[in-house]
Amino acid sequence: MPLLELHNVHSAYGNVQALKGISLHVEEGEIVTLLGANGAGKSTTLRSISGLTAVTEGEILFDGKPLARIKPEHIVRLGIAHVPEGRRIFPGLTVKENIMIGASGRGRLPRQQVEGEVEEMYQIFPDLQRLSDALGWSLSGGQQQMLAVARGLMSKPKLLLLDEPSLGLAPIIVQQLFATIRSIRGRGTTVLLVEQNANMALSVADRGYVLVTGNLTVEGTPAQLLDNEEVKAAYLGGG
Ligand code: ATP
């Protein structure tokens, strides 16, 4: 059974039909990427999975169970963490406090346990350990992105939804970030990755889908997508 299945999912913002019948699946342990131009519906797909945008038709199954009418905070508890575009870390809190907030949906946990889990995050993101007491606002874009991912991982997700993690980051930082995404999967977390940087996304993914104005057009392995004329023309130009 796939960890995540979308069947004919439609979502709308008022009169704007953002998703027009998306069907996809993510198997446990995979990194799957969702490619597409600005406005194609990539963020809306993630928002629909995490319950932030209402699904008007079709269904989403997680671990075989429908997510319909489940509130976003309960969806986090089921094991889906969403790291939205733009990071949204707390500027007035320290790095450590920002990380710890990620565990808050899991109820009251012994302080020692949370401290131990923060240490695990520092092993994945060594820069954050050095910056433990720094305030959120003082971090660079790449550091903020790492922090947003670390915070997401503190909910102990089975599935991590990452929205444009490479946006605005220098190429060397993007390389680091993608190496980290691979290591996160190595720890057993499944990843659904939205990216405009198609080359980078396909370098870590097991499979990918292409989204064009609310519809999926192509699905395949990175090799298949890299070889696809439509994908090459639209997404692999300079990236
Ligand atoms: P981007 O990379 O720019 O975020 P995307 O592929 O993630 O693009 P979405 O953000 O999912 O695309 O947007 C899909 C469609 O829904 C677009 O037509 C967009 O204008 C529209 N849309 C997104 N958010 C809203 C909103 N809050 N209100 C109205 N329309 C929206």
* pTM given for the model: 0.93
What contacts 11, CB < 8 A, 6 or more positions away? 17, 18, 19, 41, 44, 47, 48, 53, 54, 55, 56
In this prediction the ipTM stands at 0.93
CATH number of the domain enclosing 22: 3.40.50.300
Could you list the residue range(s) of the whole structural domain that residue 55 is in? 2-235
Residue identifier of the C-alpha nearest atom 3 of ligand 1: 38
Ligand 1 lined by 18 (C-beta under 6 Å): yes
Ligand 1 center to residue 196 CA distance, Å? 14
**How many domains is the chain built from?**
1
Convert the pLDDT of each residue in 179-234 to its tens digit: 999 999 998 999 999 998 899 999 999 999 999 999 998 999 999 999 988 888 77
Asked if 181 and 165 count as a contact pair (C-beta separation under 8 A), the reply is yes
Tell me the C-alpha distance between 144 and 140, whole Å. 6
- Structure tokens that stand for 124 in this block: 């994945």
